[in-house]
Amino acid sequence: MFNLSSIVQKAQQLIDPALTAPTERKPSKSALFRLQFRLPETQNPLQEITAELTLSAQRTTEGTHLIERDRDRARGNRYVGKLHLSEHYMCFSTQASSYLSTASTANSTSFTGQTHGSGPAGNGFTLPLCAIRRVERLHSQNTAFSLAITTSNGFSDHSKQGTTDAPQRLVMQLAGSRQQCDRFCDGLKKGLRAGMRDVENLRKVVGLSYSEYHLADEAAKDGKKELIPTREAPDTGLGSIFRYPGDSRKLRDKAKMRLWKEYMRENGRNATLIRQPTFHKLIRVGLPNRLRGEIWELSSGSFYLRLQNPDLYVQTLSKYSGQESLAIDEIEKDLNRSLPEYPGFQSEEGIGRLRRVLTAYSWTNEDVGYCQAMNIVVAALLIYTSEVQAFYLLSVLCDRLLPGYYSQTMYGTLLDQRVFESLVEKTMPILWDHVQKSDVQLSIVSLPWFLSLYINSMPLVFAFRVLDVFFLEGPKVLFQIGLAILRINGEELLDASDDGAFISVLKDYFSRLEDSAHPKSENPKLRAVTRFQELMVVAFKEFAGITQDTISKQRSAHKEVVLENIENFAKRTSIRNLGPESKKLSLADLGFLYDRFYGVLYDRQQRSQTIQDESERKAKAGKSKAQQLVTGIPAADDVEVGRVALGASTTQMDYDAFREFLVGVARWAVADTQSPSHDLEKQSYFTNSTRSRSISMSPWGAGPDPADDEFIRRLFRKWDVDEYKSLSLQNVVVGFAKVKGARDIMSTIAYFFDLYDDDNDGKVDRDGILKMSEALLFLGRRGFVTSALASPSQTPIQNGASPRLDKNPQRTTSKDEEFLSAVSSFIRRCFEYADADNAHAIQMAKNAAAEESATASSLADFSIGGDEEDDDLVDLTSDSIPLTPTTPRQTSTSPIMSSPSQLMNLPPMPSETKPNTHAANAALDPANPLFITLPTFRMLVLADETLEHFFDTDFVNSFHLADQPVDSTASSSSNLTTFANLGKGFQRPNLGAPALSLPASGGVVPPGKGLRGMLDNIVTDGMRVATEVRRRMEEAQRELDSASTPGGAGSSTHKDDEDDEEDDHRTIDDVNADRRSVREGDRDLLEGLEAAELDGSDAGSVGKVENLMDAGLTSPVRSSRASTSSERTGNGIVEFER
Amino acid sequence: MADAGASPAPKPSSSVKLVLLGEAAVGKSSLVMRFVNNDFQENKEPTIGAAFLTQKCNLPTRTIKFEIWDTAGQERFASLAPMYYRNAQAALVVYDITKSTSLTKAQHWVAELQRQASPGIVIALVGNKLDLASPSSSSADDADGGDGGDEEADEGDARKVPTKTAKAYAEEEGLLFFETSAKTGERVAEVFTAIANAIPETQLKGPRGAAGGQRQEESRVNLGAAKDASAKEGCAC
């Protein structure tokens, strides 16, 4: 059974074989590197070397250049870590406890090393290469290889360099072999040269940062006013206009600002900031209002996104200006309800900013668009940041920090709720038991915490403190805070026994965060500790063990269940919403169609992704794997694209996808020729070898190649009611509902007719008739599973899913023969009964009813007059197919052989008064446009038991839905019903006598190719049969012209009986007599042709198989592709014969 | 919570979990706001996940404490809904009578609840924003709680969903049916009273956390009885 979980497995194996082997956890450096330093996707670690960073402890404005190296080294902080070089960045980090013993700040370790590669932990820097002004090689003592790096601190005052702070200078001592150091330096040189291009961007971005302004302002105060151009303070959010939340005195904003200023003067600012332990501490105590936005940008890495593309925000807004979208409608609804208590959002200014940021983001990420809660988060950001800053912060939030939170299905939110619950279970088992027992759904309280980052749960001042740490240390902070909240309120929560009580305990707690945590303590210092401070301590000390790694592992562990739940919900919902038409199908069928529909879309997206990335596949796979290991969620943009639970990006199926879709639904939709790579894929499907699977690059993946037939095209067009050139699930379901839901032969016939009634005028013309026949052959070429004609020997379906052919080849073959003959006689009769396009149309309409009754009566007559039973009729019908090579020819004299004469004596129209030959000629003359109407078509179908059965059950049943899905892996060519594998009754064509056989002009078989060519063609493309039929029709017509003599008329067959009343003087007995004498009387050219072509080989069926295989394998004209297919055909037949 | 115990009424009290579902901006939160605080706000913060409120409803024989889960209406929040309707004894499926798509969405929710929520859940279909329809098209004066109205919508008012259509659907599915206006408060309380009456006695639990054994044996109410009862009894809120 084809379902989503199997897709998931397949996908995982395809994407990430390592997932099944968790021991192999070696995420690629690129991803870790980017995550650690919060760099954009474009960056890769090119060089890496162990190095020691030396920072001067105290630099003075003057004399930096004079500082001697030795003195520097003696006094400065030293850190040993890894120095990385990417395309545009040089990064350094000590990562956790890698300090040298000389590290000055003793307690710094507690602030580092907890982010496990998910944020700029540890000490170090992330330096854009464009911010490096100079690199000097220091020829130091002994073997050390030292670089002195001068950054472009104070870049905006570039022209007046030297007037502000002295340039920042760091010394890196590289620890590595000479060769390694040289290589690193070469890379650095290259990078620096390239970095020149970005200097302008840097200037633009840095010019807007408050730190730059603030420090310059400070310099001005120091007495250099005349050198500093007065400029406006950069935008630091709505807070600068509408006041920042909280009491700035209580928050000690000024003191914090002073500390930061001091820190930045020593350690650089914005682009050149160096992270020392103090940096982490300063963030933990809360950021000062005006620097908050900038530090958020730096620690989240959105600064680097902005640096990469500083104009994206403005460009996006102007590009989409005036356009509308669903997201914009939704945004508009919520603008007035985003932090409405903050004065800034009661003003047009604030609302305008909010609107622009949300709108711009919805355009840059249309898959996410807009999700409620984003309005609250962005509103909060905008208090401290400019619009541009908020825009990039939002990008980083949605794409990296909160993966999947705001997506269409919100899978990230649900997943993290699951993770949170399991962490509660692990860390607070008693509380967890209580929650379970009292049936409280934890996520009911915690979901809004995560979704809106505590912003609408806690008072704003405190929520921002959480955000400060969150941006630096990543999503684990949300978990730590959440766990701490529960831990602190544990006692009270244990008393709460329902959701309401639970919520109210926490609401109460949040409202008293400002209060003292220990109000009754004797110790005044302890009394001064607020509940919020307590929360932070509990979160980061007691739950220090919750690392990014923990979260990632938990996410991986719960991902499947969560995604499946979402998928089930989505499936339920989607199936329910399919409209009234869908009620015609069973729920199981709808479920099956849903799975198949999205399965195909998903597979296709995966494949196109894989194929697209093939060249860099290895690198790519490594990257996505790493990303998944780090975040626990596959990078939505490149791993599981199209998976429903992740918010499928495509819900429309194009024609190719439709073909692939049908392969799993109908056997006839499988192509007769398979691409050569298919063998390999099939093999891998069965062996489930991930290795060979990942090799497969066929555009159709592991399934068989779908056929591309006129009929499928027509079906697609018909179902595409909106004419989008693609189908939605709704279209597909409605389409199936019309086919499968009818369950009534009349409507099925009408449906089929409509497919070919191009202009909806109720008529199908000559071309249409031929196409219909082609379609019938196409549909019937693999036989049908359930047939009324099936004998008891028909084997039941094997393997529960894969319909197999009858074990008794004879029986099956004759069934197939019957179908082929039925189709050919259908064609013939179509032309018999077709109306000439104009005048006849009216007559036809008039006589439609009479005609049908005539048919009925003639049938009755037949069985009465001649001592024929219905079976005989069928036999006659099926044998009377001189027009197609399908005819099981019998060379011996037999009454059946009267059939060829039928052609010669096509009966006139029922209402015709003209001589029948004349009428027949008119009907067959290509110059005479003709058509059949639905009543005619219906009559023709009903007149033939095989066709009647086809439309009664086979056609509808050929679409396999939930009841018996097609095993799409079943061999595609094993059971083609074509001339090639007709069993008994099929007589080998005479290779030696091609003279009269299908001329080359038919375009079907090159003369001289004889059997081999014919088989090749027929086997590889059953459709050509119809072409042949058509050609023979014309030939026959020619015959007819020459034979339009009384003698010809005399050889009418029984089939003309229905017209006897009007224009045939013969009786039924005559007909029978005719039939018997036909062998003698109708040795016309046509039959000669048939005989010459089909006769003359008496090899048994086994011999035939060999022959077929030979034909396929040795055919010199076929490409290797063709020979593969022929080989399969051969194989298929062997199986068939068995 | 403690409230239940503090209730002055000596009558037995039981809590009922009620969930509100429906398309975005049909007025779910406003209905709750009207019911709980008898208040109406034009600009309410959107519901993130779900909001939780409680309100008591006094019936002659007992007190029902509604634990109301007001869910977010934005389409993508739909996948969170199972979390909220889990174990709900009652559901208010709200649509906007001026927006026909909202009834379709409501029907989807009804189907979802019928299949996925606890068996026996009492579902009320509520057409909100009755104030936007012209009076003649509503049945405001009709006190019968189960009867939403008998007139087709007039041409010219904002009503898009005829009472008849929705009512026929509700009857077919065995739902309570009301048309309300959270803005004017019209028939809001009746909805909750009717639901309170329709909850089968067997489904009622005692107030959680308080002494649990106070189940009442009388007043086994079925849907039919609820209709009559709701006409006479209002919520004491």
Q: Per-residue pLDDT tens for B178-195?
A: 999 999 999 999 999 999
Name the stretches of chain A with pLDDT < 50: 1-26, 58-74, 96-117, 155-164, 225-228, 617, 620-621, 635-639, 677-697, 786-810, 839-845, 849, 851-923, 967-1022, 1045-1138
| Rounded Cα gap, residues A35 and A39, in angstroms | 7
| Rounded Cα gap, residues A715 and A147, in angstroms | 70
Most confidently predicted of A628-632, B60-64, B228-232: B60-64
Q: What is the DSSP letter of A1097?
A: B
Query: Does residue B72 have a pLDDT over 70?
Result: yes
End-to-end, the C-alpha distance of chain A in Å comes to 27
Task: Kindly report the pTM of this predicted structure.
Answer: 0.67
A966-1012 pLDDT tens trace? 544 443 344 444 443 443 333 444 444 333 333 333 333 344 344 44
Give the pLDDT of residue A614. 64
Three-state SS letters, A55-77: ECCCCCCCCHHHCCHHHHHHHCE
Chain B nearest C-alpha distance from A359 (Å): 17
Query: Which residues of chain B make contact with A570, given a CB cutoff of 8 A?
Result: 79
A439/B contact by beta carbon, under 8 A: yes
Helix (H/G/I), strand (E/B), else coil: B176: strand
Q: Which pairs from A868-877 meet CB under 8 Å and 24+ separation?
A: A868/A1054, A870/A945, A873/A945, A874/A818, A874/A945, A874/A946, A876/A1053, A876/A1054, A876/A1055, A876/A1075, A877/A821, A877/A822, A877/A825, A877/A944, A877/A945, A877/A946, A877/A1055
Instruction: Kindly give, in sequence order, each residue whose CB lies less than 8 Å from that of residue A786, ignoring residues fewer than 6 positions away.
Output: A953, A954, A957
Give the pLDDT of residue A333. 84
Candidates 3.40.47.10, 3.40.50.300, 3.40.50.720, 3.20.20.150; CATH matching B13-203: 3.40.50.300
Chain B nearest C-alpha distance from A337 (Å): 4
Give the pLDDT of residue A229. 53
Best A339, A410, A561 residue to mutate vs chain B (most B CBs within 10 Å): A410
A399-422 pLDDT tens trace? 888 988 998 888 899 999 999 999
Sign of CA dihedral A453, A455, A461, A462: negative
Helix (H/G/I), strand (E/B), else coil: A670: strand
Order of strands across the sheet that contains B13-22: B50-58, B63-71, B13-22, B90-96, B122-128, B176-179
Query: Which residues of chain A make contact with B45, given a CB cutoff of 8 A?
Result: 337-338, 340, 376, 456
Q: Which residue has the tokens 């869910």?
A: B71
Q: Which of B76, B79, B209 sits opposite A498 (nearest CB)?
A: B209
Query: Which residues of chain B make contact with A651, given a CB cutoff of 8 A?
Result: none
A337/B contact by beta carbon, under 8 A: yes
> Which token pair is A711?
């009929």
Q: Which of A372, A499, A647 sits opposite B67 (nearest CB)?
A: A499
**Identity of the amino acid at A462:** F
Give the pLDDT of residue A926. 54
A325/B contact by beta carbon, under 8 A: no
A854 Cα distance to chain centroid = 56
Helix (H/G/I), strand (E/B), else coil: B62: coil
Give the pLDDT of residue A608. 77
Residue numbers of A between 558 and 587 with CB closer than 8 Å to B: 565-566, 569-570, 572-573, 576-577
Give the pLDDT of residue A910. 41
Counted residue by residue, chain A has a size of 1138
Q: Which helix (H) or strand (E) holds A1072?
A: helix A1068-1081
Give the pLDDT of residue A675. 56
Give the pLDDT of residue A786. 46
Query: Does residue B139 have a pLDDT over 50?
Result: no
| Rounded Cα gap, residues A956 and A494, in angstroms | 61
* Half-sphere exposure for A7 (CA within 13 Å, toward CB): 25
Short-list A1129, A1111, A745, A650, CA closest to A945: A745
**Cα-flanking dihedrals φ and ψ of residue B66, to 5°?**
-80, 130
